[in-house]
Each structure stands twice: as C-alpha cells, then as structure tokens.
A and B are shown apart, each in its own frame.
Chain A
Amino acid sequence: MELHILEHSLKVASIAKEGIQVCTHGLIKLAFLPSKTRCKFFSLTETPEDYTIIVDEDGFKELPESEYLSVADATWLALNVVSGGGSATSSQPIGVTKIAKSVIAPLADHNISVFMLSTYQTDFILVRERDLPMVMHTLSSEFTLLRVVNGETVAANSTGVTNGFVKPELVPRPIIHPLSSPSNMFCVTSLDPDTLPSVATLLMDVMFYSGGAKETGGQSEDSGHIRFFSFSLIEGYISLVMDEQTTRRFPNNVLFTSASGELWKMVRIGGQPLGFDECGIVAQISEPLATADIPAYYISTFKFDHALVPEENIQSVIGALRTNESTGQ
C-alpha cells in the first residue's frame, strides 16, 4: 500500500450563512472557472450551520477577508491511500472503512487530529502540517510513503526521528459525541467536467439559494430533513454529495450514478461544535463500521462530522455505534 502526501497546502474555513453573499464571487470562480485560478483543491460543504471551505493556498486568495469568514489556524496536508492496483475482490468495502484500521486508528492512537474528506473518487485524510513528522513516523511501517513534489511522486524519507515519540497506550475508543441521523437520503455522485457549464446555474442555485426555504428543517433531530450539500473540485475531478430530492433537479445522464443506484443515510456526529484539536472522533466511528464491514463516506466540516452509510445498513450502524457508546460510558 502506498500513502501519497499531496502537495497542496490547505486551509479550512467556515463562512457564516448570512455572510455567504460576500464570498459568492470567489466561490463561483473556484467552483466553475477552474482555468481562471491556479487552485487545484477546492471543496465546499453546506450544512445547516455554515459553509465549510477546504481550499489550497492559491484558491484561498480568491476569498475576501470578512467578519463572516473564520479560518482554522493550521495549514493542512492531504493524505491519500493508493492500494497500488492490487486485485482485491469487488466486494471490498469502500471509503473510510477500508482505511479505518490502517490509517485512522494509528493516527488516533498517536493523538493526531484528522479532518476527513470523502469524495466520489477517493478519500482524503487531512492532517496538520506540523504533525507531518509524527504522521510519517506512525504510518511508515504500514505504507510506502510517497510525497508529491511539483507533480512528481518521490519517495518521502521518513525523518528518522523516532526518539521522543511516545509509544501510545492502546485504549478502547468509546463514542463520546452524540449522534443523529437525518431522515433524508443522500447520493454521492460526480459529473463530467465538460458538462459542468450546462448545470452551473443549477448548482449555484443549490449551493447558495436553496437554504432559506427550509429554515427550520435542519434543526429537528432524527426525523427531520437536514440541509447538506457538498461540492468539490480536486485535481480536475468533481464530486457531489446531495440529497435525493436535489438530484431530481438535474437533467438525465448528467450526474454519474452507480448502476445499482445506491443511496446513503447520514450519521451526524456532535452536539457541540467539535473543534479541531480533539482526536479520535473519526476512529470512534470508522472502527465499528470496519468491524461490521459496512462501507462509508466521511465528511468533516468546520463544526460537525458526517458519515454516510448505505441506507439498508443504517439501523445496524446506529445499533453498532450505540453499543459502542454504551460500553464507553
């Protein structure tokens, strides 16, 4: 297995809902006019609370300074696991489940905070730049570490500094944050970049103008709808996460849909904003899923985390997580 450390230096920011109009110019440019910027990594996720932006340094320049914009202080690096084209069986679980044991758990054990971004194409594990030596130390036993420099993949030599790293004690990880599961179902999809202009206005509408209509829906626990939409444009690949109703607004054959037409239910983690320092949250969720062999997407936002699991598995997931929760308490 190879772990690629990508060269993007990323910023994680939050834009308050009421301040979105200040930033729309920059966001539209980043999302729909990739040739006008040098940005290679852009992700926008709308939650009921805010808009979370993950963007590289070139893209960050497009955003204005504003009181509505709050930025996490750290610079983040994206890690990407490449299986090296091995021929695993087709029933292999996808998403965070696959890397839960190999990447997420070891990082949690070493108290490294991670920020997850699953896309249609792959999973990105964001770590703070300052944690990189520790990350490399932690993962070098399991992975071939490769660093992307100017588009070239080169072997990243582990700094060799192994002294001073404390061997962590392995403790069971109870789930400590409250979970909720909104009623609407989601679709993880993509589209051909060539067709992006034809649906750009629709996407803008979805991104910026449909929030107000369902003012109250997002806050209701469990049963209610949640307003959740994610768009990312990373190295030329588009990924979209939206609920099923939203997909119906798109013309036929524009969205990439899986042959089986699978749909996903969301598990939302956190009652209070989670902050960026606490570690182990992703591990708490993904480890039970990996044990149960349930595929999942995982999208962290500025305030909360979101896991997407197959609709047919939602009950068993909730069950598994609740068990974990109870044992933890």
Chain B
Amino acid sequence: MSSGYKPDILWSPHHADRYVICDTELSLYRIGPAGSPETKAGTLPLSEETAATLLAINSDTPYMKCVAWYPKHEPECLLAVGQANGRVVLTSLGQSHNSKCKELVGKEFVPKHARQCNTLAWNPVDSNWLAAGLDKHRADFSVLIWDISSKFSPESVPAEKARLSGDVDSGLLVTKPLYELGQNDACLSLCWLPRDHQKLLLAGMHRNLAIFDLRNTSQKTFVNTKAIQGVTVDPHFPDRVASFFEGQVAIWDLRKFEKPVFTLTEQPKPLTKVAWCPTRMGLLATLTRDSNIIRLYDMQHTPMPFGDEVEPTIIERSVQPCSESIISSFAWHPSAQNRMVVVSPNRVMNDFTVFERISLAWSSTTSLMWACGRHLYECTEDGGQGAAAADKDIATKMRERAQSHYGHDTVQVWRNHVLAGGDDPQLRSLWYTLHFMKQYTENLEQKQQSNKQSLIYSGIKNIVKSSSGTTETRRCWSGSDRQTDVPRYHSEERSLALQLCGWISRGPDIDVEPFLKSLEQEGEWERAAAVALFNLDIRRAIQILNKGASAEKGDLNLNVVAMALSGYTDEKNSLWREMCSSLRLQLKKAHLCIMFAFLTSEPGAFDAVLYESRVAVRDRVAFACMFLNDTQLPRYIDKLTYEMKEAGNLEGILLTGLTKDGVDLMESYVDRTGDVQTASFCMLKGSPGEVLKDPRVQCWIENYRNLLDAWRFWHKRAEFDIHRSKLDPSSKPLPQVFVSCNFCGKSISYSCSAIPHQGRGFSQYGVSGSPTKSKVTSCPGCRKPLPRCALCLMNMGTPVSSCPGTGKADEKADLTRDKKLAQFNNWFTWCHNCRHGGHAGHMLSWFRDHSECPVSACTCKCMQLDTTGNLVPSDSA
C-alpha cells in the first residue's frame, strides 16, 4: 500500500469464495464458476473456469492506507481500515444483521498525534485486539493496540479540544489505546506471533525488528536489520518469519533471532508484497514493483538451522499469472491449494493456480512415481497376461529372467533361452551357439586336440579364414543317378562350422539325419525339408513335407509344395524351372522359397538363398559353408558379420564368437536393447581371454550387479558373483573382513588353513578323546574358546571359518554336519558400535522384537545403526 492507490487484495479468512479489493474504496467480490446459472451479466471473468461477482462497495473511508479483515467467523465482513491520518476505522461490506457488527461498524480509533497508519493486524486469539503501526511522531508511540470492544470515553476528548478533528459524531471515537509501544520510531509493519498471542513482532524505521511481550512491555528482543518491511510469519512454521527491504527478503528464525537464517537473492526492483502460501509448506511468493511476474521460493526442503553450517536449498521460480499486464497485488487463496488472485493496477483480476513442481522418481522396477501437490501418481507397466512379451520393458524381462535363473544353466547351455522365456529367436540362437561351442570344446577335450580349442570361441568368421585344403565334390542326388551340377566343398574347418551351426553333431562325416529328426520332432517341416534338400536328398525333403502335411494341424499346402518339388528337372530351359523361379517369390514361407531358389539358381550364384533374411543366420551360414568356394565364403561371412554387428543381432555371435568382434556386436545389441544381463552372461563364457578385460564387458557386468542390488535381489547377486568367479577367477574378491581370536590375535580362518588339518573331522564329532583336537567353537590357533553368543551363551564357531581344503575323504555325515553349521544362522555377527554379538540367526530374531542390544545394561540400538538392517531382500534364498 505504500505506493499511492494501487489496488490491494484480501481474502476473507472464512469464506473461501470472497475477497475484497481495496484502492480508493472497498469492493467485495464473490468468486464462482464461470458460466454457472447464477452468474449474471455483471460478472467479471477471472480465468477460464471462474468469474467474480461484485457484491458490495464501500467508499465511506477515504485515505485508506491499510486494511485488515476481522479474523473471527462472526461478524463476517468486518474490516479495519487504517487511514492516512492514523485513524483506524471499523467498517463492513454488504449487509450484516449481526448486532455485534452493527455496534462496531463506524467505530474510530484515534491516535494522539495524527500520522499515517502503515499497518494493521488483528490478534489471532483475542480478536478484540487490533494493533496499528503508525509513522513516527516526535515522542509519540508508533504502535497502538486498540481494544475494539472498549467503550468510548467522553472525558478523553474534551469538546472544545475536538474542534480541529472536524468530527460531529464523536460518540464512536476511541482515543485510549490498550497498549502503546515503540516510542520515537515509525512502525512500518507488524505481526502477532502465532506461538504466543501476547507477543508482537514489529519493524521500525530505525532499522530494527523487535519482539514485544505485552505482559512486560519494557522488555523486548530486538535485532538491527534493514529488512523491516512486510514482516510475515510462516503459517506452517510459527518460528519462521520473512521480512523485506527494497529488493531483498530475509528469512528469520525467531529462536535464533540474531541474524537472518538466509536472505534470498536480491531483486533489481523494490518488493511490494511478500506472502507465505497458506496451503503449502515453505512456499513464499514475492512481488516487485511494476512487474508482471510473481517469484516463488520453495523452502520445502530447507533444514531448520540447528547448525550454522546448514546451507539451505531454495528452489526459485517465477510465474506470470496474466501475460501482459503488470501486477499490483496478489493474495493466496486461504484454502484452495496454490491458488491466488492477482489484481492489476487498473483492477483487472485474474484467478490463478500455481502449478506445483512435479518431482519424479523411477523405481528400480519398472514403475514410475510422481508427486504433484498433494497427489501421488504411480505408473506401472501393464503386467497383465495380455501384454505381449515383446512389449515388456527390458528391465521387467531381466527381472523375470533373473528370477528364473537365466544364464545359470552351465550344463545344457541352450536351455538358457528357455529360462529367458523361449520366445526370443536371437537369444535362442545365441544360447544354441554357445551350447554348440561348449559341446565342441568338450569333444575336443576328450580327444586331447587342443589346437582347435582356441579357435572355437572365435567364431565361424575366424574358423573359415583359417580354412585350408578344401576339397570339391560333385555328388549325385541321393536316390538317383543324376549328377548334380552344384559342387560341394569340404574341409575340416567347414565341418567344424557346420557343427557350430548345429547341422551335424560330429565331423567329419556329414550326417544330417539326427538334425532332421530333431527338426521333424519340433514340427519345423519347412526348415527340415530345406536342410534335406541342401544335402541333396530331394526324396527325403519330399517325405518330410508329406509328413508335415499329414501331421496334426499340418499345412495341406505342403503336399502341393512336395508335388512341385518332385517335378524337379535340371533342364535349363524347362517350363518347371521357369515357373518355379518366378512363382517361388509368392511363397510365404522363407524356407520353401529358398528351396526353389536353390534348385533354380545357377551354380555358385546362391544370393537368393544367402540373403534371405527371414532364414536363420545359422542355416544360411551352413548353406554357405557347403556351397560357396574359398573366395566366396569369407567374403560372404565378412559381409554378414558386418550386417549383424551393425544391427546388434545376437545370431551374429555365431560368426564373431566371443572375440572383440563379438563385443562390438554385443555393444550394439546392448545399445539397442539395454539387456546387460544377456551381455554379462554371454561374455562370461568367453573366458579365458581378452574379452573379459574389455572395459565394456566389465561395465555390463557391474551394471548388471548394480541392477540386482537395486532390485534387492541380493541372493541372485551372490549367485551371479559365484557364477562369475567360477568363469573368471580374477574377479574373485579378496577377503575383506577377518575375525581374529581374542587370545592369540590370529585370524581364526587363516590360522586354520596354516595348520594341517589332521583328524579335524573326528574332532567335530566331539567323540575324539584327544584334548589337542580343536573344535569349531575354539580358535584353531590357540585352541581357546571363541566368544559366546549373547543370546544362547554358546561358543560361536562355524566350519566356514575352517580351511576350504577339507578333503573328499571326509565322511558324508560330516558334510551334512558341516552344512548345518555353515548355515547363515550360525555365522558370527556383532555390532560395530557396542561390540556385542552372537549367532546371526539369534540376533536377527532378537532385533525383530527389540531395538536395543541383547546384552543387559547395553543401550546400544545396534540394528538402527545399520542402514541396510531394515531392508529385506526381494528374492527368497
């Protein structure tokens, strides 16, 4: 109000739909939905949804300087108006039938010496008390607290002295204030303290903020500061006060009143209004002169200053409630969240809701949470059965796969694709490739031929490169004497490649019959027929197709294809050849298509087969290994490898193997899918080698471990680490914690492995009479007993702490006992703070019901010191 007659705005303290605009007069408005039936022609639109109706105008009080709304429910529309001459007038808006209101309206409170009234504040508890802050006058007081219920006292206004006041009706004049405070200073702003309604915070012109207690007005707490305008208490924090000076806002803590807790960044223009949001914690809105934005400071996460070093974090942002016009004043809605009405100098009003900041958090699973205002939203993946597997997020897939032990089947490696869900052809190809590689290595191991072993994991690309001694054969169509005109190539490497493709199980003889049988079993009729045909067994191919057609749910069209196939002729210009080469393109099944492509193409020109992308890479590579010569084959393989790498297609692992090329390919696969799980498991198989040292591989592995941790799959993490350390011994972490004996100071595990363990097995039975034999519950170094569990009072000890070198000769009974003792429940555990401890199982069950240490007289809250103590793994052991 300091600058002329710019309109200010006040919300009714109790009627959420009413507010007053005050400039030269007071206007009461009611806010309601726009376009509702009760809106009349005279309504003013405030926003798209709301409009205001003018209810009443009061222009009885000229020279208004400040206005304060009576805080109690009744009388409803009672306002105190502070005037330029320091008088405070009670007035009301609209009609009120309240007798108390009638009694009060028109009452005037007159200071001894006239000067501007700067600020007014009703006492929040004793609503008869009204504090008025006035300008300075020589020796008069600047803060007068009036009791509005006080009766007019005629003796204080002698009639002849009232001649200058010009008041005819002096019956309503009150000149004796209840309290007078702040002599010889001006009061620019004041507020009552909500914690204690007898206390008043005032800001004087002589650069100080002072807290007065009305019970003892000679006592005051005060602090020198420039920030003496607009003191206002945070409605949510009774000790937090904001005050401002020019462009700067200072935030105070009344408990530490010596200096501001912090000051907000200074604005270039002087501030005109500062207001705490009543509906949201710690949100302060500020307005500067001639500005069209309201600046908001979110002190939501500001820790209260218990230490001086706490640097508060404040989120600052600005809102522009009405795009072009400057804002004269604003007022927060008392109850609607983050809502305010702003008013421009020419009285244009705007209803505006500050959009709440959205804070967003991803969970480690696929759900997403965000909070906006008082609402919390959760967004989870549609986990219904209807959701196609391909649509699932990779994180969900990885979680499911981790739960189904994906990657852990090291015997039947191909089964891992089943564990992965069995619906991803790339994973299927990958795990079959790894399976064949492993199988082949095992075969070699038995034959003690280790020279090829290094080659096997380096993929067909490298195998083919090293190929030498290729022989060429022209075989007959089986079951016919006709010579084929297609040459077939053989070499040791080619047959190795065919094995990796899974076509043959063992070289050098090419016998695809087992493979065909397995394909038939799986109902892959077309693929089986194609494989048979490529092995120049046209009769077998026809037989397979017939079988396919007659099988349950078989495709009768297969018979037609078989018929077409049986008409094969190698006559170059036959009608059959001509028709097949053109009509084959209309076949929907890729394998049928390539069969005819093979039969109709010129020798050595099999592009129609080789580049049929619908056919699995392994089949095409196998085909290439049979029918491409030594120049064509590497070129084709290189080209295909490049394509696979570009696409990140896991089928390409067959070509690249687990080499650097393979890592490149996997990199583009991970880039495409984010599937670090498959990448980690796959690359672990590549041991020993450079591959595991590749930083990318290490990165995938670490990320996968972190993911498992984030999902609280701690058991899975541990399983993975064990699996990893088996395949990559260098990843095994060194022991980090040692338990040392209280008596000899030696590590109880180390000293154990240091001594030979003769007869340990017997000692564990406790049947051996020899006193020199150690027990699990004693230190293996000095034989003194280990500490007792604080709960069961038994000496602790686990065979885990014994050396791992327990021979296979130990009795089976001993193993079961070992296992029993080695269970986690028997592990040592102790609090790092109070050093008490016991068996892990006992401790866990103790702390399920207690917070303090089980040792009597120890008040250590051991479990609460453990930040992860209350977390539960989400995978069961």
Contact: A87 with B175, CB < 8 Å? no
CB contact under 8 A between A94 and B139, given known A192-B84, A258-B112? yes
Interface residues of A in 224-249 (CB under 8 A from B): 237, 247
Query: Are A258 and B185 touching (Cβ within 8 A)?
Result: no
User: A256 touches which one: B85, B136, B175, B184 (CB < 8 A)?
Assistant: B85
Given A123-B138, A153-B207, A247-B164, A256-B115 contact (CB < 8 Å): yes
- Stretch from B155-163, B636-644, B655-663, B717-725 at the A interface: B155-163
Q: Which of B116, B156, B157, B217 contacts A87 (CB 8 A)?
A: B217
* A contact residues around B226 at 8 Å (CB): 152
Contacts of A90 in B (CB 8 A): 112, 141, 180
Q: How many residues of B contact A (CB 8 A)?
A: 49
CB of B204, distance to nearest CB on chain A (Å): 7
> Which residues of A153-190 are within 8 A (CB) of B?
153, 187, 189-190
Binary CB contact string for chain A from 65 to 105 against chain B (1 if under 8 A, 0 otherwise) = 00000000000000000111111101011110010000000
Whole-angstrom CA separation of A84 from B112 in the bound complex: 20
Q: How many whole Å from B177's CB to the nearest CB in chain A?
A: 10
Decide yes or no whether B289 CB sits under 8 A from chain A: no
Decide yes or no whether A326 CB sits under 8 A from chain B: no
Smallest beta-carbon distance A308→chain B, Å:
12
Cβ distance A106 to chain B, nearest Cβ, rounded Å: 20
- Contacts A/B (CB < 8 Å), 15 sampled: A85-B206, A85-B222, A92-B183, A94-B140, A120-B113, A120-B137, A190-B114, A190-B115, A192-B116, A247-B164, A253-B63, A255-B114, A256-B86, A257-B165, A259-B114
Whether A261 lies near B165 (C-beta < 8 A) is yes
Query: Distance (Å) between the CB of B29 and the closest chain A CB?
Result: 25
Complex Cα distance, B162 from A261, in Å, reads 6
Distance from A198 Cβ to chain B, minimum over Cβ atoms (Å): 10
* Smallest CB gap from B4: residue in A: A194
Taking a contact as CB atoms under 8 Å apart, the answer to whether B85 and A259 are in contact is no
Once bound together, how far apart are the Cα atoms of A94 and B138, in whole Å?
Answer: 7
* A259 near B165: Cβ-Cβ < 8 Å: yes
Contact A87 B138 (CB under 8 A): no
Contact A187-B164, Cβ < 8 Å, known A256-B113, A260-B112 = yes
Expressed in whole angstroms, the minimum distance between the Cβ of B656 and any Cβ of chain A is: 76
- B residues in contact with A153, CB < 8 Å: 206-207
Contacts of A98 in B (CB 8 A): 139
Q: Number of contact residues on A: which range applies?
A: 35 or more
Q: Which of A93, A194, A258 interacts with B114 by CB under 8 Å?
A: A258
Please, which residue of chain A has its CB at the minimum distance from the CB of B174? A259
**Can you list, as one digit per residue, whether each of B610-643 has a CB less than 8 Å from chain A (1) or not (0)?**
0000000000000000000000000000000000
Closest residue of A by beta carbon distance from B175:
A259
Most chain B CB within 10 A, of A90, A122, A191, A192, is at A192
A 253-269 binary contact with B (CB < 8 Å = 1; else 0): 10111111110000000
B68-105: which have CB < 8 Å to A? 84-86
Q: Which of B4, B166, B207 contacts A253 (CB 8 A)?
A: B166
Q: How far is the CA of A262 from the CA of B113 in the complex (A)?
A: 10
Smallest CB gap from A2: residue in B: B206
A88: shortest Cβ distance to chain B, in Å?
Answer: 6
With most chain A CB atoms within 10 A of its CB, the pick from B114, B135, B158 is B114
In contact, B183 and A258 (Cβ under 8 angstroms): no
The 7 tightest CB contacts between A and B, nearest first, are A256-B114, A192-B84, A252-B166, A261-B161, A257-B164, A94-B139, A261-B164
B150 smallest CB distance to A (angstroms): 15
A98 and B185 alpha carbons, distance in the complex (Å)? 16
B463 part of interface (Cβ distance < 8 Å): no
Are A121's CB and B136's CB within 8 A?
Answer: yes
Question: How many angstroms between the C-alpha atoms of A195 and B63 in the bound complex?
Answer: 8
Secondary structure call for the B interface: loop
**Residue interface bits B733-769, CB-to-A below 8 A is 1, else 0:** 0000000000000000000000000000000000000
Residues of the A chain whose Cβ atoms lie less than 8 Å from the Cβ of B47: none
Do the beta carbons of B139 and A87 come within 8 Å of each other?
Answer: no
The CA of A123 and the CA of B138, in the complex, are separated in Å by 7
A93 to B138, CA, bound (A): 10
- A88 vs B183: C-alpha distance in the bound complex, in angstroms? 8
Of all chain B residues, which has the CB nearest A190?
B115
Residues of A at the B interface (CB closer than 8 Å) are: 2, 82-88, 90, 92-95, 98, 120-123, 152-153, 187, 189-192, 194-195, 237, 247, 252-253, 255-262
Cα-based distance from A92 to B183 in the complex (angstroms): 11
Q: Known contacts A187-B164, A259-B165; is A85 also within 8 Å of B204 by CB?
A: yes
| A121-B138, A259-B111 as given contacts; A85 in contact with B210, CB under 8 Å | yes
Instruction: Give chain B interface residues in 108-123, CB to chain A under 8 Å.
Output: 110-116
- Looking at the complex, which one of B138, B207, B208 makes contact with A120 (CB distance below 8 Å)? B138
Q: Among residues 260 to 318 in chain B, which have CB atoms less than 8 Å away from a CB atom of chain A?
A: none
Instruction: Quote the shortest CB–CB distance from B548 to chain A (angstroms).
Output: 98
A258 and B139 alpha carbons, distance in the complex (Å): 13
Contact B84 A195 (CB under 8 A): yes
Give Cα A237–Cα B136 distance, bound, in whole angstroms: 9
Instruction: Tell me, rounded to whole Å, the shortest Cβ–Cβ distance linking A239 to chain B.
Output: 10
Q: Is B459 close to A, CB under 8 A?
A: no
**Nearest B residue (CB) for A187:** B164
Contact assessment for A86 and B183 in the assembled complex, using a CB-CB cutoff below 8 Å:
yes
Residues from chain B with a CB closer than 8 A to the CB of A85 are 182-185, 204, 206, 208, 210, 220, 222
A259 with B157: in contact, given A85-B185, A87-B183, A153-B207 (CB under 8 Å)?
yes
- State the CA gap A95–B86 with chains docked (Å): 21
Docked pose: A258 CA to B204 CA in angstroms = 22
Does residue B876 face the partner (Cβ distance < 8 Å to A)? no
CA distance A256 to B184 in the complex (A): 18
Residues in A with CB closer than 8 Å to B473 are none
B114 adjacent to A189 (CB under 8 Å): yes
Q: Does B385 contact A (CB under 8 A)?
A: no
Point out the residues of chain B lying under 8 angstroms from A262, CB to CB.
Answer: 161
User: Using Cβ atoms and an 8 Å threshold, which residues of chain A touch B173?
Assistant: 259
Alpha-carbon separation in the docked complex, A185 to B112 (Å) = 19
B181: interface (CB < 8 Å): yes
Expressed in whole angstroms, the Cα–Cα distance for A12 and B158 within the complex equals 41
Minimum CB–CB distance from B771 to chain A (whole Å) comes to 87
A195 to B136, CA, bound (A): 18
Q: Does B238 contact A (CB under 8 A)?
A: no
Chain B positions within 8 Å of A84 at CB level? 184, 206
B62 on interface, CB distance cutoff 8 Å: yes
A-side contacts of B164, CB under 8 Å = 187, 247, 255, 257-258, 261
- A261 and B163 in contact (CB under 8 A), knowing A120-B137, A195-B63? yes
Shortest Cβ distance from residue A73 to the other chain B in the assembled complex, whole angstroms: 31
Determine how close the nearest CB of chain A comes to the CB of B156; give it in whole angstroms. Answer: 8
Could you say which residues of chain B place their CB within 8 Å of the CB of A247?
Answer: 164
CA distance A148 to B361 in the complex (A): 54
Residue of B nearest to A263 (CB): B164
Evaluate contact between A260 and B161: CB separation under 8 angstroms. Answer: yes
Whole-angstrom distance from the CB of B201 to the nearest CB of chain A?
14
| Closest A residue, CB atoms, query B162 | A261
In chain B, positions 513-527 with a C-beta closer than 8 Å to chain A are: none
> Assuming A87-B217, A258-B114, is B136 touching A122 (CB within 8 A)?
yes
The chain B residue with its CB closest to the CB of A251 is: B166
CB nearest to A91 among chain B residues = B139
B139 lies within 8 A of A92 (CB) = yes
A95 to chain B, nearest CB (A): 7
Does B218 belong to the interface (CB within 8 Å)? Answer: yes
14 further interface pairs, Cβ-Cβ under 8 Å (given A85-B210, A88-B183): A2-B206, A85-B206, A85-B208, A90-B180, A92-B139, A95-B139, A121-B136, A122-B136, A153-B207, A192-B63, A194-B63, A195-B84, A257-B165, A259-B112
A83 contacts B183, C-beta separation under 8 Å: yes
Within 8 A of A (CB), among B829-850: none
Q: A123-B138, A192-B84 are in contact. Are A87 and B218 (CB under 8 A)?
A: yes
Q: Using a CB-CB cutoff of 8 Å, which residues 35-85 of chain B contact chain A?
A: 62-63, 84-85
Q: When the two chains form their complex, are residues B110 and A259 in contact, meaning their CB atoms are under 8 A apart?
A: yes
Q: Which residue of B lies closest to A151 (CB)?
A: B226
Q: How far is the CA of A122 from the CA of B207 in the complex (A)?
A: 17
